[in-house]
Amino acid sequence: MTTDAAFGNGPLRILIAEDNHSDRMILHAILTRQGHEVVMATDGMEAVEAFHREAPQMVLLDAMMPRMDGLEAAREIKAAAGEQLVPIIFLTSLSDPESLASCLEVGGDDFLSKPYNRVILRAKINAFRRMRELHQSLQNERDRTHQRNEQMLHEQEMARRVFDNIAHRGCLGAENIRYEASPMSIFNGDVLFASPKPSGGVHLFVGDFTGHGLPAAIGAVPLAEIFYGMTAKGFAISDILREMNRKMQAILPTGVFCCAAMVDLNLKSGHAEVWNGGLPSGYLLRHDGSRDELRSRHLPLGILPADRFSAACERHAMEVGEHLLLCSDGVMESVNREGEMFGEDRILEVLAGGGTPSDVFERLRGAVRSFAEGVGSEDDITILDVAMAEESLLEAVEPEVLPDTGAGPLDWEMTYELRNETLARFNPVPLLLHICMDVPGLRLFSGELYTIITELFNNALEHGVLRLPSSLKDSPAGFSRYYSERERLLGEIRHGAVSIRLEHRPDPQRRGGRLLIRVEDSGDGFSGEALSQSLAHNGLSGRGLALVRQLCNNVRLCGKGNCIEAEFVWHAGRGESRSGVSEEGNSHE
């Protein structure tokens, strides 16, 4: 008989509730000899008490008992057992179907009829033991799943905070930008970045990684670093896109990529450069109610190797108050209760719905929300809306300042020379700016330095090496001819050089310093009068060098006129900066 205990998973604790003394004795004998532990009760009330006290794993219950009958006791025991499966076997000599049915209705699991038979009883107990084990393992599995889910949400929360630390900076809070994005959108694979450029204007980025969850989120971190890091260093939109594509191609597994659109919004000149690779069409919303479609012209980021990737952007003029709208495919793929998708047609309906360009964002957001109401797909929606604005708007946006390590170089000089075809292919400004940014405290002046180095380099390249006459730029038509001529000459360049010398000296109190920027080209140079003319020129052409003169303490021509030296004196802490870098210095137009 002891083998019974070994069979299955050891003995069970079984409650017997039976008012007949002799019947109770028989059951007790059968069960104890099969190795089980037996708890006895003589009526329903005792049975419920014993259940609470002894927590038996199985209950044998007489249907008809004094005080509380078996049906009521079964109901209470099942309620007390809760999620635990405690099988109840009714002991019965009842025979009418209705009585038997009512036993099952109150939660009974089976019957055992009199006379008690030990073989049948053993088989039933073993069957219920297996059921209990199955139930238990299902519950454990469910609890583990629940636990894992909790843990995953917790980890996502942590991951999101790490991501926010990388991507929170930037200017999504700027007055001309509105957006819709779920706080956990990164785990839908959606990313949204905006950052002011050191040269003025804004870079914007909407991305949508394939897939969901962690695999979709993991690529967002390097993407954010590239976007914010390169934008702050003054890289152009095409450089940033190329680097993003290279990085995504290197790190993402096959089949994972990032549909994306990037915008370079130039507030100064009033135009937007747009690149769209795989995102749904964006729209430029005009004052007159018309719209330009910003169609995807490229493959998503992370697919093409660097030599086949194109960062070519479309250039669109925008007037102040005109809007640019981008969204991830979550908008089109939003599903309503009937399982229909929102679709492109509904987007176009919203766009055609009249109103001003600035109304469209709210109307689109409202339309998608009410469409998908109660379905729970709103979390996947990412919409970005940006308005062309006056340049002064961005002054309210604090530039992102990376903390100085304080350990950078203070006293140094370097010379960097670009030669021949490299002049046409490589923009040295971000690299040089990056070097300057290593000087502790100088980071606050990245915008000014970007402008100074860019203008001096372009001056040397365009007038010195390419010999373009600046007078061409006097009219708008000449302006565009100037640039097409510039492109042509750059393509043909075989010989020439531009040398940039940077020299930094700290001031004696270490409260700032002096940066000397000397740019020399291989050209013929030009006379002092031409320079002073150029510096005095108020037209379009002279703008660049005049700006340099405003930003620097001292600008002078040297050599045979093929060399300009500019001196930038700075003081630690922006509030105490030179009066030369004043309001009128920046708003020269």
Partner 1 sequence: MSDQQHLDHEALTELRDVMEDEFNILINTFLQDADERLRQLSEAARAEDADSFRKVAHSFKGSCINIGAPILAECCFAAEQAGREDNLSQSGQQVAAIEEELATVSEQLRRYVRE
Closest residue by Cα to residue 550 from 529, 568, 573, 531: 568
Nearer Cβ to partner 1 (33/144): 33
Contacts of 67 (CB under 8 A, 6+ apart): 43, 44, 45, 46
Calculate ∠ Cα 199-202-207, nearest 5°: 135
Q: Least distance from C-beta 92 to partner 1, angstroms?
A: 8
Closest approach of Cβ 13 to partner 1, in Å? 20
Task: Give the nearest distance from C-beta 67 to partner 1 in angstroms.
Answer: 12
CB of 6 or CB of 25, closer to partner 1: 25
Residue closer to partner 1 (CB basis): 22 or 290? 22
Q: How many CB atoms lie within 10 A of CB 481?
A: 13
Radius of gyration (C-alpha) of the chain in whole angstroms: 39
Q: Which residue has the tokens 């180095």?
A: 453
The nearest distance, CB 99 to partner 1, in angstroms, is 10
| Cβ proximity of 156 and 362 under 8 Å | no
- φ, ψ for residue 572 (rounded to 5)? -60, 140
User: Which one, of 109, 20, 2, 120, lies nearest residue 58 by Cα?
Assistant: 109
d(CA 226, CA 177): 21
Minimum distance of partner 1 from residue 152's CB (angstroms): 55
- Dihedral sign, Cα of residue 328, residue 332, residue 333, residue 338: positive
| Smallest separation (angstroms) from partner 1 to the CB of 133 | 27
Between 25 and 414, CB nearer to partner 1: 25
Helix crossing, 237-251 with 220-232: angle to 10°?
160
Among residues 169, 162, 161, 215, the alpha carbon closest in space to that of 192 is found at 169
- Nearest distance, CB of residue 21 and partner 1, angstroms: 5
Question: How many Å separate Cα 445 from the centre of its chain?
Answer: 29
User: Residue 116 or residue 526: which is nearer to partner 1 going by CB?
Assistant: 116
* CB of 115 or CB of 255, closer to partner 1: 115
Min separation Cβ 119 and partner 1, Å: 10
CB of 60 to partner 1, least distance (A): 13
42/185 with CB nearer partner 1: 42
Identify the residue whose tokens are 């017997």. 16
Tell me if residue 237 falls in helix, strand or coil.
Answer: helix
64 or 304: CB nearest partner 1: 64
Beta strands in 239-395 (DSSP E): 258-266, 271-277, 282-285, 291-294, 314-317, 323-327, 383-387
Pick the closer one to partner 1 by CB: 20 or 156: 20
Nearer to partner 1 (CB atom), residue 100 or residue 166: 100
Bridge partners of 517, per DSSP, are 502, 566
Shortest distance in whole angstroms from residue 373 CB to partner 1: 59
Beta strands in 268-381 (DSSP E): 271-277, 282-285, 291-294, 314-317, 323-327
User: Least distance in Å: CB of 43 to partner 1?
Assistant: 11
Beta carbons of 407 and 537 less than 8 angstroms apart? no
Q: Are 521 and 496 in contact (CB under 8 A)?
A: yes
Query: Of 126 and 199, which has the nearer Cβ to partner 1?
Result: 126
Closer residue to partner 1 in complex, CB, 47/519: 47
Tokens 């373009």 label which residue? Answer: 468
Mind giving me the DSSP string for 533-567? HHHH--SSTTHHHHHHHHHSSEEEEETTTTEEEEE
100 vs 218, beta carbon nearer partner 1: 100
Count of all residues that appear for the chain in the document: 589
Shortest CB 153 distance to partner 1, Å: 56
Q: Minimum distance between the CB of residue 80 and partner 1, rounded to whole angstroms? A: 26
DSSP letter for each residue of 425-458: H---HHHHHHHHHTSTTGGGGHHHHHHHHHHHHH
Using DSSP's 3-state secondary structure scheme, residue 257 falls into coil
Asked if 580 and 495 count as a contact pair (C-beta separation under 8 A), the reply is no
The residue ranges that bind partner 1 (CB under 8 A) are: 19-23, 25-26, 29-30, 33, 62, 64, 66, 93, 114-116, 118
Cα–Cα distance for residue pair 41/456, rounded to 1 Å = 100
